[in-house]
A and B are shown apart, each in its own frame.
Chain A
Amino acid sequence: MIQDLVIYALFIAYALAVLLVFGLVLTWVERKQAAIMSDRIGANRAYLRIPFTQVKLVWWGLFHGMADGMKMLLKEDFKPRTHDWYAYAVAPWVVFTPVLLVFGVIPFGGTLVPGQLGSSLAEWYGDKSYPMQIARLDAGLLMVFAFGGMTTIGAMLAGWSSANKFSLLGALRAGSQMISYELVMGLTLLGLILIYGTLDLGAVVQQQSGVVLGFLPAWGIVYQPFAAILFLTAAMAENKRIPFDLPEAESELIAGYFTEYSAMKMGLFMFAEFIEIAIIAALFTTLFLGGYNLPFMTDAGFVFPGGHVVAMSHGLVVVTQMVVFLAKVFLMCSFQILVRWSLPRFRYDQVLHFAWKFLFPLTLVNLVVTTVAVWAIRGGGA
């Protein structure tokens, strides 16, 4: 019992640390990547001075995130004269908390058998094994959507309770846009659920560990390339970033639904947005990029098709899987930032047209084709 508690406390700490570090580092990555994309240098002036020396640690401007956080904590916490101060105060947390919770069902590594890590651990743990996932839920994917939907409530609350017309307009845009794209997002994944036959994300990743046609990794993107593109588009629209940043279009609405927020409350909105980038990347990795799997990698090491085997100890396998997962997530985050700095913003009517008249029919077509194919492969009507 206590063993389980220790392991899960470790998992939760790891998940929280990963998310918060991603949230902090992505602010830096975003600025730096945007700068390098546009032939600039980017923020590189903040430094930490080692006390009592003149040694200044600059580290490519990595401390700018820290400086920003400090600034947000120390700024005046402006409060508008609103009739609904409770909703106003609670809204940032309604946006922020579900984003963190979504990570609870995402597997960030394979199976951990603590008994194989050392002799002292072996006698305490015996041969217990733990899938590296905080909550192994049968309805994992449903939980993702349930909590993803809650951020809409947060955005709407923030807009309503701010007593500001720009906020209200932003909230209305956020509501209509997020609900439209949530539908598209859910439907794109139906095809994948048909193929894998489960909603449990751990089981989904385990099914992606094989190889198809001898060389292609059995990742979701190979089975459902179309759904992958649609899902990524819808997910980015869910996150309200350029090209879908209508709810906070600064040239039209100042800052949209969080216009009236300042200091760390505004910081929470921004932080939630950056963590959501990581969450979307983690979801995409889990569903379409094989999660922690590498091609030809099993729980015992690499097994290449020529019969060549590279054996690895259990500890090494666990670390490799965690690193592979993080690397994939980071690459997907970087891709989202690339999109954000490349594409112009949609016009408002175009956003909803795009969702309902373009993406929605395509997801339906994708679903029908997948259904027919799965039906045919599994023996037709027989």
Chain B
Amino acid sequence: MSTRRYRRKEYWNRPTMSLWERVYLFEIVRGLSITGGVFLGNMWRWMTGRKGALTTYYPEETRADYAAANRGKHILTRRPDGRPQCIACNMCATVCPAKVIEIEAAFDPDDTAHPKYPARFEIDYSRCIFCGLCVEACPEDAIRMLKEVPNLPGHDRQRMWITRDELLNWNPHSDVAKPYPAATGPEKPRGPT
């Protein structure tokens, strides 16, 4: 049995406090003046009509520093005559890892160049992971993701589906990279329905 006295281990960086710090009250006052100063500064900003915080009000405001290549809300591009560029090939729906794209193809005998078109094209935003694979898979430059994300939040998941018409219309783009031969056959005015 050892008779050595127990000695508390000494560390090289033992915290030391001066008497001023150990009196405690002055350090408390210092801390309170820091937080109180921040409070008064921010309060002054609020009262003079500025925003006293860095926060953006999410659905109403868009952050100014969104990246130009931000993958936001989808659009479907249009042909020059206004019909969807999409040929309902289901490539995007196939590659989609979250399986959120649902396409119902339809047949249009009058459009001899591309008779297949999407009657329904819907994306479930409650499950979309915004990976951008649908955009990369598209052979026709028909689906794109824009930088903005307007009206994304919703109160129930049934209303989180975006329909073909909204995809075509919320921010219409018709500058497709792959131009189309004009439809042959009799002229028939058709736009996005």
Contacts and interface: CB of A to CB of B under 8 A. Distances in A.
Given A41-B53, A41-B55, A229-B25, A36 B32 contact: no
Given A338-B36, A338-B39, A341-B35, A39 B54 contact: yes
Contact-residue size bin, chain A (C-beta under 8 Å from the other chain):
10 to 19
A362 to B, nearest CB: 10
A146 interface: no
Contacts of A37: 35-36, 38-39, 42
B53 A35 contact: yes
A343 B53 contact: no
Contacts of A40: 53, 55
Interface string A26-46: 000000010111111100000
Nearest to A37: B39
A94 B9 CA distance: 49
A37 B38 CA distance: 6
Interface residues of B, number: 19
A338 B32 contact: yes
Nearest to B34: A342
B38 A39 contact: yes
Interface in B7-48: 24-25, 28, 31-32, 34-36, 38-39, 42-43, 46
B52 interface: yes
B54 A36 contact: no
A36 B43 contact: yes
Contacts of A229: 25
A81 B55 CA distance: 45
Contacts of B31: 342-343
Contacts of A343: 28, 31-32
Given A35-B53, A229-B25, A338-B32, 20 more contacts: A33-B39, A36-B39, A36-B42, A36-B43, A36-B52, A37-B36, A37-B38, A37-B39, A38-B38, A39-B53, A41-B53, A41-B55, A41-B57, A338-B35, A338-B36, A339-B32, A342-B32, A342-B35, A343-B31, A343-B32
14 contacts: A35-B53, A37-B38, A38-B38, A39-B38, A39-B52, A40-B55, A41-B57, A338-B35, A338-B36, A338-B39, A341-B35, A342-B35, A343-B28, A358-B24
